[in-house]
A and B are shown apart, each in its own frame.
Chain A
């Protein structure tokens, strides 16, 4: 149905045009989902924009053909193209929060498409809108039509976005990372919805994603992109059983998984070549473990390895065996008994103020009675969906946010309420690594200054020569060259910046590092490098980690202990094996089952959670989870369940247990 032939897209920079997408060809049949898989910057979004002819101002279509049902799209006039956009093909964007216009009602935004493409107005249009909203699973659609986007939750906004895309009854749906900004339970709902709609309508779908789990769940055929080129196209079965391209294989091997615990993750050395300096031969040659001399000279042609499975690679070997390069990381097996950080009944409530006199009318209970213990040299993963308060816990431990109540004891001394000098002394023992490596480094300071800042503030090294030596040693420890000292953060890639952030935190020799989703902004191959580094540092220095994350694969790979948070409270905690292998809380069970796994046969029993996390300003009565719990009982609506021990180390807050 959709046919893309030798499409080349470029971006003009000054007088030069850099090709971001360099000659890709693929086709999508009716009712088929074709997934474009690739890391950030490989040109997958540009491809989608090129097909819709929605490239940004600097973008140019250099050559190639795109046709929908045999009609060429690239030669259409802009006015004719508008009939295609939203009509015959529609697009869903990544960020539901910004892709809806905040000042128009949902009804107006859907109605716009109906009016333009189907010429529906008035009552007929309203009827159609209600119908559409019902199709995308929005309850009470009549009321929602008159609401504004800010009144909807993230998952609901994405559903509305899908409804808008469906309004024109498109033959082709382009979904650009449709669930990346959503939580796993909501992601599962949206993926189910997309799959169902596709089957119902027999649409073709171009799914753009970086997530192998989503691919495994959704795609019929998969195209892997690297540096602006397609390198492998295969059916889903072939792709997951016999990936042929070394890049695809490396992507699979870089995934953190439970089976790789204690092993070093395979990483892809080096970086994606920049657009301005593309190698003449195979673009992956510099990072490939099977590189041959011919790879650097001749760009590999397409080669069919099986029916419908083509690959662009000179190397003819089979999939790599579990390679010998992957060796075990020595793990410190420290007795979990001696916890050095103890958190008891920690509460952080933010007052809601209203009116002229700013009177407090209520509280957002971001953290509502959390108790934790972390032992030296171990990793505790704090898992939960967005808005559950896990980041607030991390900041409250560091006293960056003042806890409302509770105690944080570090090696026996109380931190809550400490001020001035004594608080500063205490901070030497704990540091934080932030989520976004692009926002966590001051762009105006050089790397050396960034790393030395903590030492200066906490008086670790006062002698400037000793401090310079310490900075150089730290850079080496996190795997950066010592020339980095005099460079600015913007000169580094995301992974390198995260290394700088880690070096900065390590500079004051903390015993506990609070890692707030340190890899969620990074690509899989870079994530593997950072996880390896964190593991190595733990083995060398014996630091403990509080790992705040929503990514279960990382938890499985890294954590010794796991605590699951829901709406400001911990609902289940214990050793990683216990919580992940035999979860007792229905929420943990649902979370685990909602994670899309990058395997073929991952569809065990799926537990679908209805709805989304309620607001922490008005938590439900009784057990916070009862409105979404498939096994809720009467008692759940009345009282919050007490802590029940399942084993010596495993506790659950649920009426079903005990």
Chain B
């Protein structure tokens, strides 16, 4: 048994804190009947639950990627244990074959040969220029290289059947539990949208199981310039995307909401001050500000190498710094929106009625104004989530995004972008990254829609 040393990165702490906070909020919701009723409505929304299932799959990948360790290197007994310099996550361990089976350079999805011709020395035949055989992709086929389609289809079918059987098991379990609770109820009429969840689960399983099964034999999404499997890169990008989306939002949200409402509600010099701050911030080109901050951060990181025992820790700190900087520069839009809406709300009669009762200003803000702004906040959050993931891509292009050693949708898209100009075109990196991002952002959007609808009492009639 190989020993290992647990490594806790700062972003891991934040992610698990978020999970803990989520569980805490869940418990709190379960104890407050009106909130519970609202979330039950989310639960009854088919689209909402389907997208929640997809989101959960992404979050699961992200969480698996947030448990880090360093493997123990082989050493002589009696010696002090030495750990590998490379920090791995549980996801890396699970996807070890994907991580380690690198090719030399680009190869297309399900290819058995590289994408570029090379000069090969054949014993006895001299040198030829040809597409060299891949080291890993389709190795089991041996000489039968032209049978890729049959082999892949058959394997996918096997895996698909297996996935379907597994899903039937889940279905049966859910059905029995439901039957016990309310014998007459059919699954379609249940208060919780089980049908949507199960259907999505079926789709995920039927898609994902064959995909991973095949990825043991082929590079299903191809390989990139340095021969790394694109599927593996996608899995690793999920965590980066989630962190950039969530942590940045966490930084931005309190500032935008607090300042926006305060400016709109109190008016006067408070309003002037806040407006000046965000006007000034807005008038500086955002990329410039971020570049300056990231470069300063980089200098600090570079001059203090003793702070980090591994490269992963260094990359992690840079990621967090990026989140903070993005957060600090991106609150102005939402703040302006909330200020305008508060200006409108504060003149409404129910606010004046509360003032007539002598309700304190902060209580009016929390009880009357904030809940009536939540729909804007939720919409802005989801739109920002996708915007931030994209912003990261732009910044990576300028060279001030995440650390080069870290995989993200941004770096993937950026690398792929450079290959779009070559002939024949290398399309799979871009398409894979794009699809993954699309599914993530779409699921987040649909889920936010469901939440907003459920919490709007006027929409529930």
Q: How far is the CA of A471 from the CA of B354 in the complex (A)?
A: 17
In the complex, which range does the number of interface residues on chain A fall in?
A: 20 to 34
The answer to whether B352 and A400 have CB atoms under 8 Å apart is: yes
Closest to B33 in A: A486
A435: which B residues are within 8 A, CB to CB?
A: 349
Let me know if B124 is at the binding interface, CB within 8 A. no
A642: which B residues are within 8 A, CB to CB?
A: none
Let me know if B179 is at the binding interface, CB within 8 A. no
Q: Contacts A453-B367, A501-B353 given; 9 further ones with Cβ under 8 A?
A: A398-B356, A423-B358, A432-B353, A436-B349, A443-B372, A443-B458, A444-B371, A454-B357, A491-B461
Let me know if A457 is at the binding interface, CB within 8 A. yes
The answer to whether A458 and B356 have CB atoms under 8 Å apart is: no
Enumerate A428-462 residues with CB–CB distance to B below 8 Å. Answer: 430-432, 434-436, 439-446, 450, 453-454, 456-458
Given contact pairs A443-B458, A445-B367, A458 touches B358 in the complex (Cβ within 8 A): yes
B349: which A residues are within 8 A, CB to CB?
A: 434-436, 439-440
The answer to whether A400 and B356 have CB atoms under 8 Å apart is: yes
1/0 per residue, CB under 8 A from B, across A450-478: the answer is 10011011100000000000000000000
Let me know if B387 is at the binding interface, CB within 8 A. no
The answer to whether B356 and A431 have CB atoms under 8 Å apart is: yes
Q: What is the CB-to-nearest-CB distance from A491 to chain B, in angstroms, rounded to a whole number?
A: 8
Closest to A430 in B: B356
Partner pick for B350 among A400, A442, A458, A505, CB 8 A cutoff:
A442
The answer to whether B457 and A453 have CB atoms under 8 Å apart is: no
Which of B357, B360, B368, B457 lies at the interface centre, i.e. has the most chain A CB atoms within 10 A of its CB? B357
Let me know if A508 is at the binding interface, CB within 8 A. yes
A491: which B residues are within 8 A, CB to CB?
A: 461
Q: What is the CB-to-nearest-CB distance from A399 to chain B, in angstroms, rounded to a whole number?
A: 9
Given contact pairs A443-B458, A446-B34, A457 touches B358 in the complex (Cβ within 8 A): yes
Give 9 CB contacts A-B under 8 Å.
A423-B358, A424-B358, A432-B353, A435-B349, A439-B348, A440-B350, A445-B368, A445-B371, A456-B359
B117: which A residues are within 8 A, CB to CB?
A: none
Q: What is the CB-to-nearest-CB distance from A459 to chain B, in angstroms, rounded to a whole number?
A: 10
Partner pick for A458 among B352, B357, B367, B461, CB 8 A cutoff:
B357
Q: What is the CB-to-nearest-CB distance from A513 to chain B, in angstroms, rounded to a whole number?
A: 11
Q: How far is the CA of A504 from the CA of B357 in the complex (A)?
A: 10
Given contact pairs A444-B371, A444-B457, A457-B363, A427 touches B356 in the complex (Cβ within 8 A): yes
Given contact pairs A439-B348, A442-B350, A444-B372, A432 touches B457 in the complex (Cβ within 8 A): no
Task: Decide if the interface of chain B is mainly helix, strand, loop or mixed.
Answer: helix
Let me know if A395 is at the binding interface, CB within 8 A. yes
Let me know if B282 is at the binding interface, CB within 8 A. no
Let me know if A488 is at the binding interface, CB within 8 A. yes
Task: Decide if the interface of chain A is mainly helix, strand, loop or mixed.
Answer: mixed
Let me know if A327 is at the binding interface, CB within 8 A. no
The answer to whether A508 and B357 have CB atoms under 8 Å apart is: yes
Q: How far is the CA of A441 from the CA of B371 in the complex (A)?
A: 13
Q: How far is the CA of A423 from the CA of B357 in the complex (A)?
A: 10
The answer to whether B353 and A457 have CB atoms under 8 Å apart is: no
B458: which A residues are within 8 A, CB to CB?
A: 443, 488, 490
Q: How far is the CA of A398 from the CA of B356 in the complex (A)?
A: 7
Q: How far is the CA of A477 from the CA of B363 in the complex (A)?
A: 28
Interface residues of A (CB under 8 A from B): 395, 398, 400, 423-424, 427, 430-432, 434-436, 439-446, 450, 453-454, 456-458, 488, 490-491, 501, 504-505, 508
B367: which A residues are within 8 A, CB to CB?
A: 442, 445, 453
What 6 pairs between A and B have smallest CB-CB spacing?
A: A424-B358, A440-B349, A454-B357, A434-B349, A444-B371, A488-B457
Q: How far is the CA of A444 from the CA of B373 in the complex (A)?
A: 10
Q: How far is the CA of A504 from the CA of B350 in the complex (A)?
A: 11
Closest to A395 in B: B352
B359: which A residues are within 8 A, CB to CB?
A: 453-454, 456-457
Closest to B347 in A: A439
Let me know if B355 is at the binding interface, CB within 8 A. yes
The answer to whether A453 and B357 have CB atoms under 8 Å apart is: yes
Closest to A423 in B: B358
Q: How far is the CA of A249 from the CA of B323 in the complex (A)?
A: 70
Given contact pairs A439-B348, A446-B34, A434 touches B372 in the complex (Cβ within 8 A): no
The answer to whether A432 and B354 have CB atoms under 8 Å apart is: no
Partner pick for A432 among B356, B372, B461, CB 8 A cutoff:
B356
Closest to B359 in A: A457
A423: which B residues are within 8 A, CB to CB?
A: 358
Which of B34, B354, B356, B363 lies at the interface centre, i.e. has the most chain A CB atoms within 10 A of its CB? B356
B360: which A residues are within 8 A, CB to CB?
A: 457
A439: which B residues are within 8 A, CB to CB?
A: 348-350
B457: which A residues are within 8 A, CB to CB?
A: 443-444, 488, 490
B461: which A residues are within 8 A, CB to CB?
A: 490-491
B355: which A residues are within 8 A, CB to CB?
A: 400
Closest to A459 in B: B358
Closest to B348 in A: A439
The answer to whether A440 and B358 have CB atoms under 8 Å apart is: no
Partner pick for B353 among A434, A444, A446, A458, CB 8 A cutoff:
A434
A432: which B residues are within 8 A, CB to CB?
A: 352-353, 356
A457: which B residues are within 8 A, CB to CB?
A: 354, 357-360, 363
B371: which A residues are within 8 A, CB to CB?
A: 442, 444-445
Q: What is the CB-to-nearest-CB distance from A468 to chain B, in angstroms, rounded to a whole number?
A: 14
B363: which A residues are within 8 A, CB to CB?
A: 457
B358: which A residues are within 8 A, CB to CB?
A: 423-424, 427, 457-458
